[in-house]
Amino acid sequence: MSTISPSLMESVSHENRKFAPPAVFSSAARVNGMEAYRALYERSIADPEAFWAEAASELHWFQPWECVLDSSEAPFFKWFRGSRTNLSYNCLDRHIEEGRGDKVAIHWEGEPGDTLDLSYSDLHREVCRCANVLKKLGVKKGDRIAIYLPMIPELAISVLACARIGAVHSVIFAGFSADSIRDRVLDSEARMVITGDGGYRRGKMLELKKIVDEGVASCDCISDVLVVRRGESHPVDCPMQEGRDHWYHELIGQVDDICPAEEMDAEDLLFLLYTSGTTGKPKGIMHTTAGYQVFSYLTSKYVFDLQPDDVYWCTADVGWITGHTYIVYGILQNGVTQVMYEGAPNHPDEGRFWDIIEKHKVTIFYTAPTAIRAFMKWGDQWVEKHDLSTLRLLGTVGEPINPEAWMWYHKKIGSEKCPIVDTWWQTETGGHMLTPMPGATPTKPGCATLPFFGIEPVILTEEGDEVDAGILAIKKPWPGMLRGIYGDPQRFKDTYWCKWGGKYYFPGDGARRDEDGYIWILGRVDDVVNVSGHRIGTAELESVFVEHKDVAESAVIGIPHEIKGQGLVAFVTVIDGCAQDEHLRKELVAMIDKGIGKFARPERIVFSSDLPKTRSGKIMRRLLRDIAEGRELGNTTTLADPSVVEHLQSQFQDET
Ligand code: WTA
């Protein structure tokens, strides 16, 4: 267990600016002031079952629940027990039945400039056809389907098609390597991969199918690979394996466009999403049907204050939880219009995002702090060329936002008239946990502020005593919570519920409560690093490095990074007599590209003759962080050999 990041603590501890929501925003908002927020919050805590039942009643159910929350097998909580429902039905059919079929669901923008508008009826038809293709290929309820696609409409379509027939999707972000695909496919025993021949990224075509071929070469569980053609005008080398591989566009033409939605049990598995933890093996986070449905719906509705004429845009990739909840499920259940963009923010130039906002008259914009810091660096001129006056609400997610970036976002993008919702949550929580209510909560730069309805955060010591600065914990279950780690119920209990004897959920973040009761997130307290909002376990890199024959040991840590939020530094000890040179460095980087993906490349690889260890042999990462951040070393009295850190320190400085 590491300590809270001193640099983050420092950057936010003096921040005391406060911004009330603009009156014009509040007057029309769903939650129009702190009194309204508090009243609803108190109701949600006093009688959570009544609160969540009321929210659920806004959605469609084939069969109502017998019981809202069943805690009899805690921490395996069950929500809306006995009900039957379908997420794809609530995202699509419900809107068509209620007369919103012609409304645009998705304005899609391809990176090269091609576009497609899909109404709710169009999306419904495409989802039904895709679902029928899956059925034709023998997919049954409960089968796991891996999806490795770029941000094209077929990504949302195939996710919803799985939900429609009760297949469990496992979306793998299209930046992951072949080895990562293999590990996820094997762990979930997926029977199919849906991929594309390629996908555009900064003008180049990524050859996705080739990566999939390599990834699933040794996966006997895979019987079919369904391939969407993205490279129509940019042919991609895409060898098709007879009997296993199928072109999506060919099969889609052979099926019916009606596919009834399967009646799913409340706790039927909806999806798996692999995320990083403290060990080398990513965890298959399990989300089930009814609870996630209600939580994604309600958080979207309130946190984005969704109104019928909004045009919403979330820049995340559907490969991460943000895209699952706040592109697909939460947003579509609310029946609003959204923008979906395939590519990079700086293609063809650094004004692309602002161009999209102007073109589609976007009203709500949700992005990551790392992107905001990149925009700041590129310069205000890219923003100033565009009319962003339609924006009324801004959001951030994925990592702590530094006050400077928050202020820039507020002034340059929001023209000081848009509230900013800094939303803290996780793959595991399914949806927003701490966030301002945009029409109510006065915001502070860099602060996630207060809990969403039904969420009870506390800040604890390791021993479980309440404090003002310490480890964040969540009291009581909530509907969007993860239901387990696929195939490993014990790891689920150990990771999230054991820390304080099963009394609280342990998210892994440090936090501080200020004089207004606002909660400031201070970064992870475990060995998880947030690089550009991508969650990476340091142990994942370490286990890749030690596979190299010349490497004896390695320790990877996170350090502050101007744009990425955090970057990775790897300390690698090499077996005696082996060369510690550029060649080895290159080989190690190539191993990370192959083992995880390019986005996990370390900023720096430092070779060292030894690592600082306690007498019992445990690596003291805290000292490595002190070295990497140029701080005075903390307590070194427990070190087996104090000279190791002195040596490392001077070596680190010499190489800088
Ligand atoms: C971090 C992303 C500070 C946090 C939705 C959390 C944040 C991890 C914020 C989850 C925020 C996310 N402020 N930190 N607004 N949002 N985090 O699972 O450390 O990819 O535990 O989910 O991101 O990352 P994940």
Q: CB 476: neighbour CB atoms within 10 A? A: 16
Distance CA 437, CA 612 (A): 45
Distance CA 500, CA 609 (A): 38
Phi, psi of 388 (to 5 degrees): -110, 20
Distance CA 227, CA 249 (A): 8
User: How far from 546 is each of 247, 438, 555, 559, CA to CA, in Å?
Assistant: 39, 47, 10, 21
Model confidence at 11, pLDDT cuts 50, 70, 90, reads low
Residue showing tokens 């690596």: 619
Region for 29 from its dihedrals, namely left if φ exceeds 0, alpha if ψ lies in -120 to 50, beta otherwise? beta
Distance CA 565, CA 303 (A): 24
Burial label for 254, CB within 10 Å (0-12, 13-18, 19+), is exposed
- Count Cα neighbours of 598 within 13 Å in the Cβ-side half-sphere: 3
Model confidence at 346, pLDDT cuts 50, 70, 90, reads very high
Model confidence at 234, pLDDT cuts 50, 70, 90, reads confident
Q: Please spell the DSSP secondary structure of 196-228, one letter per residue.
A: ES-EEETTEEE-HHHHHHHHHTT-TT--EEEEE
Q: Which atom of ligand 1 is nearest to the CA of 423?
A: 15
Residue 652 is predicted with a pLDDT of 83
Residue 84 DSSP SS3: strand
Q: Do domains 23-509 and 527-655 have the same CATH topology?
A: no
Ligand 1 centroid vs 228 CA: distance in angstroms?
31
Q: Which atom of ligand 1 is nearest to the CA of 428?
A: 18
Is the pLDDT at 427 greater than 90? The verdict is yes
Closest CA to 394 of 383, 379, 381: 383
Tell me, using a 6 A CB cutoff, whether residue 423 lines ligand 1. yes
Tell me the two tokens of residue 516. Answer: 């207004």
Mean pLDDT of 51-69: 98
Q: Which residues pair with 449 in a beta bridge?
A: 519
Q: Which atom of ligand 1 is nearest to the CA of 422?
A: 15
Helix axes 34-46, 48-56, angle to 10 degrees: 110
SS3 content of the chain, % helix, strand, coil (to 5): 35, 25, 45
User: Average pLDDT over the chain, rounded to whole?
Assistant: 95
Residue 1 is predicted with a pLDDT of 45
Q: Please spell the DSSP secondary structure of 119-176, one letter per residue.
A: EHHHHHHHHHHHHHHHHHTT--TT-EEEEE--SSHHHHHHHHHHHHHT-EEEE--TTS
Residue 2 is predicted with a pLDDT of 47
527-655 CATH pick, 3.40.50.450, 3.30.300.30, 3.40.50.1980, 1.10.3720.10: 3.30.300.30
Tell me, using a 6 A CB cutoff, whether residue 431 lines ligand 1. no
Model confidence at 643, pLDDT cuts 50, 70, 90, reads confident
Pairing of strands 168-171, 269-275: parallel
Q: Which residues pair with 572 in a beta bridge?
A: 554, 607
- Select from 286, 303, 396, 399 the residue to mutate for testing ligand 1; criterion: most ligand atoms less than 8 Å from CB: 399
Distance CA 530, CA 508 (A): 12
Ligand 1 centroid vs 403 CA: distance in angstroms?
17
DSSP letter, residue 506:
-
Radius of gyration for the alpha carbons in the chain, expressed in angstroms and rounded: 24
Tell me the two tokens of residue 629. Answer: 């951040």
Residue showing tokens 């190299």: 548
Residue that wins the pLDDT comparison between 1 and 338: 338
Ligand 1 centroid vs 617 CA: distance in angstroms?
31
Q: Cis peptide before 560, with omega less than 30 degrees from 0?
A: no
Give the CA dihedral 268, 271, 274, 278, nearest 10 degrees: -30
Q: Yes or no: say if 178 and 219 are a contact pair by the CB < 8 Å rule.
A: no
Q: Yes or no: say if 275 and 428 are a contact pair by the CB < 8 Å rule.
A: yes
Residue showing tokens 């298959």: 284
Q: How far is CA 223 from the centre of its chain?
A: 29
- Sequence-ordered list of residues with C-beta below 8 angstroms from that of 623, at least 6 positions apart, any chain: 612, 633, 634, 636, 639, 645
Distance CA 147, CA 209 (A): 12
DSSP letter, residue 322:
H
Tell me, using a 6 A CB cutoff, whether residue 424 lines ligand 1. yes
Mean pLDDT of 256-274: 98
Is the pLDDT at 3 greater than 60? The verdict is no
Tell me, using a 6 A CB cutoff, whether residue 397 lines ligand 1. yes
Residue 617 is predicted with a pLDDT of 87
Mean pLDDT of 490-496: 97
Pairing of strands 115-119, 283-288: unpaired
Q: Which atom of ligand 1 is nearest to the CA of 535?
A: 20
Ligand 1 centroid vs 178 CA: distance in angstroms?
26
Residue 646 is predicted with a pLDDT of 87
Taking every pair of Cα atoms in the chain, the longest distance, rounded to a whole number of angstroms, is 74
Distance CA 151, CA 317 (A): 7
Q: Yes or no: say if 590 and 612 are a contact pair by the CB < 8 Å rule.
A: no
Residue showing tokens 């996705």: 208
Is the pLDDT at 237 greater than 90? The verdict is no
Residue 483 is predicted with a pLDDT of 98
Residue 12 DSSP SS3: helix
Residue of minimum CA distance from atom 6 in ligand 1: 426
Residue showing tokens 């979906």: 340
Ligand 1 centroid vs 315 CA: distance in angstroms?
15
Ligand 1 centroid vs 508 CA: distance in angstroms?
10
Q: CB 28: neighbour CB atoms within 10 A? A: 11
Residue of minimum CA distance from atom 1 in ligand 1: 399
Residue 281 is predicted with a pLDDT of 87
Mean pLDDT of 72-97: 98
Region for 64 from its dihedrals, namely left if φ exceeds 0, alpha if ψ lies in -120 to 50, beta otherwise? beta
Distance CA 168, CA 164 (A): 10
Residue of minimum CA distance from atom 11 in ligand 1: 424
Closest CA to 12 of 369, 377, 366, 413: 369
Residue 278 is predicted with a pLDDT of 83
Residue of minimum CA distance from atom 4 in ligand 1: 399
Residue of minimum CA distance from atom 20 in ligand 1: 535
- Select from 15, 443, 447, 530 the residue to mutate for testing ligand 1; criterion: most ligand atoms less than 8 Å from CB: 530
Ligand 1 centroid vs 261 CA: distance in angstroms?
33
Q: How far is CA 423 from the centre of its chain?
A: 12
Residue 528 is predicted with a pLDDT of 94
23-509 CATH pick, 2.160.10.10, 3.40.50.12780, 3.40.50.150, 1.10.1530.10: 3.40.50.12780
Distance CA 333, CA 217 (A): 37
Residue 547 DSSP SS3: coil
Residue 495 DSSP SS3: helix
- Select from 521, 538, 566 the residue to mutate for testing ligand 1; criterion: most ligand atoms less than 8 Å from CB: 521
Ligand 1 centroid vs 134 CA: distance in angstroms?
33
Residue 634 is predicted with a pLDDT of 81
Q: Yes or no: say if 211 and 178 are a contact pair by the CB < 8 Å rule.
A: yes
Tell me, using a 6 A CB cutoff, whether residue 521 lines ligand 1. yes
Tell me, using a 6 A CB cutoff, whether residue 427 lines ligand 1. yes
Domain ranges within the chain, ordered by starting residue: 23-509, 527-655
Tell me, using a 6 A CB cutoff, whether residue 399 lines ligand 1. yes
Closest CA to 496 of 459, 434, 504: 504
Distance CA 423, CA 316 (A): 14
Q: Which residues pair with 104 in a beta bridge?
A: 119
Ligand 1 centroid vs 340 CA: distance in angstroms?
22
Q: Yes or no: say if 85 and 61 are a contact pair by the CB < 8 Å rule.
A: yes
